[in-house]
């Protein structure tokens, strides 16, 4: 009986918690269960989901990318600077931040795969470097339309309507970031589940030596995982800038914890027991619903980390208690 309860809680616990939180806020706050609020929740989690997808890739190959938050920060201010400082066309504003994210992923993979620095230490060092670069680049100021620069000049550009549409617009009544998020989750799920490279990522994460002996180019697979992690964080930075209409310094700082929480909650969705993009999405939904409800209840923002940390501890406890019992 006890085994069945544990198995059930592992498979469906996360979904039950999401449903319970959703019902609680729906009953306690009349405006919670409205179309506008639900779309606001989905829009708010779109950025976290993109960042969390990147973290998911790194965890699949038995690594961990701590630099995704700082990658969001630098790509946010770069996207803003390209428009406000340099008046670049939309295509450049979209391509350059993603390229920067890929470059950061390449640096991470070089340090981890070639230099053999442990994942946590390498990405932690890169995180500090990127934070310093983006603060130095902006001189500690956020970037906004026609801002006054430190040299006394006024920036010539503004955030274009077409760029802000990516983060604020709607298509057929559905927020554009939500559409992009759903497409990303679907494409990544298909990639990880039905392609050779996706399956090789899971094999590499499960046992690198066995993967190498079976002919998998482990180093290339790990490098690809970190490239994708940086690329998705870069997309998250673009969405952040487009949503708020400014290039905020340290924009990605709070996103790392939320992304990690989403990924580990996803471990227990439908009993996956491993990083998976569908579970990551549901984990992001749980974080988004909880923060939205807490805001409606007028809880001060600085208390939100307590609840996010609590959710992460609960998710980790359920996942690792189950995995340890299976190993025993």
Q: Which residue has the higher pLDDT, 160 or 322?
A: 160
The CATH number for 2-327, chosen from 3.90.1150, 1.10.3470, 2.40.10, 2.60.120, is: 1.10.3470
pLDDT band at 312 (very low <50, low <70, confident <90, very high): confident
Which residues are bridge partners to 247 per DSSP?
Answer: 143
Q: Kindly report, residue by residue over 75-95, the tens digit of the pLDDT.
A: 999 999 999 999 999 999 999
CA 318/CA 146 separation, integer angstroms: 50
Whole-angstrom distance, CA of residue 143 vs CA of residue 34: 34
Tell me the backbone φ, ψ of residue 174, rounded to 5 degrees: -110, 130
For residues 222 and 108, the answer to whether their CB atoms sit within 8 Å is no
What's the pLDDT at 300? 80
- HSE, CB side, 13 Å, CA atoms: give it for residue 27: 6
- The Cα 277–Cα 226 span in angstroms is 16
Place of tokens 């920060």: 73
Per domain, the residue ranges of the chain are 2-327
What pLDDT is recorded for position 257? 86
Q: CB-side exposure of 303: number of CA atoms within 13 Å?
A: 9
Residue 15 predicted with pLDDT over 80: no
User: Over the stretch 255-280, which tens digit does the pLDDT of each residue have?
Assistant: 998 898 899 888 777 656 788 999 99
The residues near 62 (Cβ < 8 Å, ≥ 6 apart) are: 204, 205, 206, 208
Residue 188: pLDDT over 80: yes
| Three-state secondary structure call for residue 297 | coil
Q: Measured in Å, how far apart are the chain's first and last C-alpha atoms?
A: 18
Q: How far apart are CA 82 and CA 88, in angstroms?
A: 5
User: pTM for this one?
Assistant: 0.93
Residue 175, classed as helix, strand or coil, is strand
3-state class (DSSP) for residue 195? coil
Distance CA 83, CA 161 (A): 11
Contact 21, 249 (CB under 8 A): no
Check whether 229 has a pLDDT greater than 80.
yes
Distance CA 282, CA 12 (A): 12
Compute the distance between CA of residue 129 and CA of residue 277 in angstroms, rounded to an integer. 29
The number of beta carbons lying within 10 Å of the beta carbon of residue 7 is: 14
Residue 4, burial from CB neighbour count under 10 angstroms (0-12, 13-18, 19+)? exposed
For the chain, give the percent of residues with pLDDT over 90: 62
Cα 204 to chain center, whole Å?
Answer: 22
List Cα–Cα distances, 214 to 151, 204, 222, 279, in angstroms: 59, 10, 16, 28
How far is Cα 18 from Cα 292, in angstroms, rounded to an integer?
13
- Which one is predicted more confidently, 24 or 194? 194
């Amino acid at each position: 009986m006890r085994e069945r309860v544990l198995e059930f809680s592992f498979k469906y616990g996360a979904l039950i918690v999401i449903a319970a939180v959703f019902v609680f806020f729906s009953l306690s706050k009349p405006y919670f269960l409205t179309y506008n609020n639900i779309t606001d929740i989905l829009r708010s989690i779109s950025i976290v989901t993109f960042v969390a997808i990147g973290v998911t890739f790194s965890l699949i190959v038995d690594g961990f990318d701590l630099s995704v938050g700082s990658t969001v920060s630098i790509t946010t201010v770069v996207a803003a600077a390209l428009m406000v400082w340099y008046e670049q066309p939309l295509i450049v504003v979209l391509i350059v931040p993603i390229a920067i994210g890929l470059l950061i992923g390449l640096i991470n993979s070089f340090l981890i795969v070639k230099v053999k620095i442990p994942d946590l230490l390498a990405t932690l060092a890169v995180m500090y470097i990127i934070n310093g670069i983006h603060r130095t680049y902006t001189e500690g100021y956020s970037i906004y339309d026609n801002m006054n620069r430190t040299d006394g000049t006024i920036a010539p550009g503004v955030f274009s309507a077409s760029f802000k549409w990516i983060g604020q617009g709607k298509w057929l009544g559905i927020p554009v970031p939500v559409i992009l998020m759903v497409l990303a989750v679907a494409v990544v799920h298909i990639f990880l589940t039905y392609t050779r490279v996706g399956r090789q990522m899971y094999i590499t994460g499960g046992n690198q030596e066995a993967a190498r002996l079976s002919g998998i180019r482990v180093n290339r697979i790990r490098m690809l995982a970190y490239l994708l992690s940086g690329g998705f964080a870069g997309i998250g930075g673009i969405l952040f800038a487009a949503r708020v209409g400014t290039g905020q310094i340290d924009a990605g700082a709070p996103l790392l914890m939320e992304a990690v929480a989403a990924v580990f909650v996803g471990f227990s969705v439908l009993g996956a027991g491993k990083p998976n993009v569908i579970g990551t999405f549901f984990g992001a939904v749980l974080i988004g619903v909880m923060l939205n409800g807490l805001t409606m209840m007028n809880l001060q923002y600085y208390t939100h980390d307590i609840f996010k940390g609590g959710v992460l501890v609960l998710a980790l406890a359920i996942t690792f208690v189950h995995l340890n019992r299976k190993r025993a």
